[in-house]
Structure 1
Amino acid sequence: MINKLSPSLEAAVAGVHDGATVLIGGFGTAGQPAELIDALIAQGARDLTIVNNNAGNGETGLAALLRARRVRKIICSFPRQADSQVFDALYRAGEVELELTPQGNLAERIRAAGAGIGGFFTPTGYGTRLAEGKETRVIDGKHYVFETPIHADFALIKAHRGDRWGNLTYRKTARNFGPIMAMAARCAIAQVNEVVELGQLDPEAIVTPGIFVQRVVLQGAA
């Protein structure tokens, strides 16, 4: 019997190893799997490469993971904002590496990994420092830069509802990066607000099919 439900948040993040590349869903705090991040902090994995849209807000969630000195490198599109003081301090001190990627490129690099695409040409970033060292090409008279996919060992995402097969639905903008991150990781771990019985999710409403999800944990599970 297929049962991807984890009994606890601790069990859900078991096996995340030092040096892992971890995709973390969320657009700011919308859709960020805060409880999974807290469990990862408690788990103790270090030297992580984190891929997220930004670099943490305030002192909780991703910012708390950074503050705990667990992150070696972050790949994101929006590292600085009014409440990104944790990242700012670490970056200025040379304690965390940053790879800046425009938001559309970030999403497409993650999607390319899940789709098995070896890379893609985009006009975004051409002629800037973000294109340094990358292949460029003129296509139909327009300049493009080559971007590579972002593969990951793990993905931590937040969904609204899930079942024991790993099928997921999302709520509004909390959907953001979750679906493509689940496809791009070897092990996708989903924190859900509600676990439902098989058949309760309308097949037409399922956004992430269970084939892309390895673990599901109920938010608040001890």
Structure 2
Amino acid sequence: MTQVCATPAEAVADIPDGASLAVGGFGLCGVPDALIAAVAAGSATGLHVISNNCGTDGHGLGQLLRRRRVRRVTASYVGENAEFARQYLAGELEVELTPQGTLAEKLRAGGAGIPAFFTPAGVGTPVSDGGLPWRYDADGSVAVASPPKEIREYGGRRHVLEESLTADFALVHALIGDTEGNLQFNQAAGNFNPLAAMAGRICVAQVEHLVRPGELDPRHVHLPGIFVDRVVHTGVQDKQIEKRTVTVARENGA
């Protein structure tokens, strides 16, 4: 049974120190900001975050980074967050960079109970051969590097073995959810949110609109409630713009 929580704080109150969090969103799209803010307002520290990226300074997972709550990050992208880059390069944060498609499949496989899979992505690079800097020393030298991975050939092409990912908790954002946990995502917000939800042992979903069972057309359910343990109604959240581009108006028809 899916639990309907009154507040984001109630929904994440039992996240302990050292927990792993699979967090949905891409850039600042579909990010469960209310749940992340609730975690940031709590005391949990030493967290391992699994997400496509870490938001921006002050938004998304940047809220946890700013408060030094994150010990390790598994992600595909480190740009757009100066504090993330600073902590990583200063040796304060461990970062496992993973190709984006591989990260998505690692989450999906984890949620499906598949322990590992072979993929051609990353073969012949430090992703497969090892040596990617996971953690730096304060002097800039590499303290912890990624290990080499198993390589096998299928159909005349080399593939690298990637282990799947699961997490203690998943934090996701949906446009609509019902009280049984069935979720509908809005356009690009359907990228990493369903995958993170599947990978979390306890999935917590913030929804903009909460409806009763039967009000959400089954044909429009993107993630069934079997994957969702808690739902909290947060209403429509402020939409952050990651990059604003302004076109200079031309004068006199030039």
Equivalent residue, structure 2, for 1:182: 197
Equivalent residue, structure 2, for 1:39: 38
Equivalent residues of 2:2, 2:229 under 8 A apart: no
Equivalent residues of 1:20, 1:153 under 8 A apart: yes
1:150 partner amino acid: L
Kindly indicate whether residue 117 of structure 2 is the aligned counterpart of residue 120 of structure 1.
yes
Return the match for 1:165 from 160, 180, 183. Answer: 180
Equivalent residue, structure 2, for 1:24: 23
Shift of 1:220: 5.3
Hey, what's the Cα distance between the residues in 2 that align with 1:181 and 1:62? 14
Kindly indicate whether residue 144 of structure 2 is the aligned counterpart of residue 129 of structure 1.
no
Equivalent residues of 2:207, 2:235 under 8 A apart: no
Matches of residues 59-74 of structure 1 in structure 2 within 5 Å? Answer: 59-74=58-73
Equivalent residues of 1:48, 1:72 under 8 A apart: yes
Equivalent residues of 2:207, 2:231 under 8 A apart: yes
Q: Deviations over 1:145-196 (max 9, x none)?
A: 0000001000000001111111111111111111121111110000000111
Hey, what's the Cα distance between the residues in 2 that align with 1:168 and 1:124? 31
Hey, what's the Cα distance between the residues in 1 that align with 2:199 and 2:96? 18
Whichever of the two has the greater Rg, that structure is 2
Return the match for 2:166 from 151, 156, 177. Answer: 151
Equivalent residue, structure 1, for 2:93: 96
Shift of 1:56: 2.2
Q: 1:194 to 1:53 in 2, by over 3 A?
A: same
Equivalent residues of 1:48, 1:70 under 8 A apart: yes
Q: SS of the residue aligned with 2:72?
A: strand
Moved segments of 4+, more than 4 Å: none
Q: TM-score, normalised by structure 2?
A: 0.83
Shift of 1:57: 1.2
2:184 partner amino acid: T
Hey, what's the Cα distance between the residues in 1 that align with 2:150 and 2:193? 29
Q: TM-score, normalised by structure 1?
A: 0.95
Hey, what's the Cα distance between the residues in 2 that align with 1:69 and 1:150? 23
Shift of 1:58: 2.7
2:196 partner amino acid: M
Equivalent residues of 1:56, 1:87 under 8 A apart: no
Hey, what's the Cα distance between the residues in 1 that align with 2:2 and 2:15? 20
Equivalent residues of 2:53, 2:76 under 8 A apart: yes
- The alignment of Structure 1 onto Structure 2 pairs a total of residues equal to 218
Q: 1:188 to 1:77 in 2, by over 3 A?
A: same
Shift of 1:115: 0.8
Hey, what's the Cα distance between the residues in 1 that align with 2:159 and 2:113? 21
Hey, what's the Cα distance between the residues in 1 that align with 2:173 and 2:76? 20
Kindly indicate whether residue 219 of structure 2 is the aligned counterpart of residue 204 of structure 1.
yes
Kindly indicate whether residue 24 of structure 2 is the aligned counterpart of residue 9 of structure 1.
no
Q: SS of the residue aligned with 1:107?
A: helix
Q: SS of the residue aligned with 1:155?
A: strand
Gapped runs of 5+ residues in structure 2?
131-147, 237-254
Hey, what's the Cα distance between the residues in 2 that align with 1:23 and 1:105? 15
Identity over aligned pairs, percent: 46
Return the match for 2:102 from 86, 99, 105. Answer: 105
Q: Deviations over 1:77-108 (max 9, x none)?
A: 0112xx31010111121110000000000000
Hey, what's the Cα distance between the residues in 2 that align with 1:196 and 1:56? 29
1:89 partner amino acid: R
Backbone CA RMSD of aligned residues: 1.2
Hey, what's the Cα distance between the residues in 1 that align with 2:57 and 2:65? 11
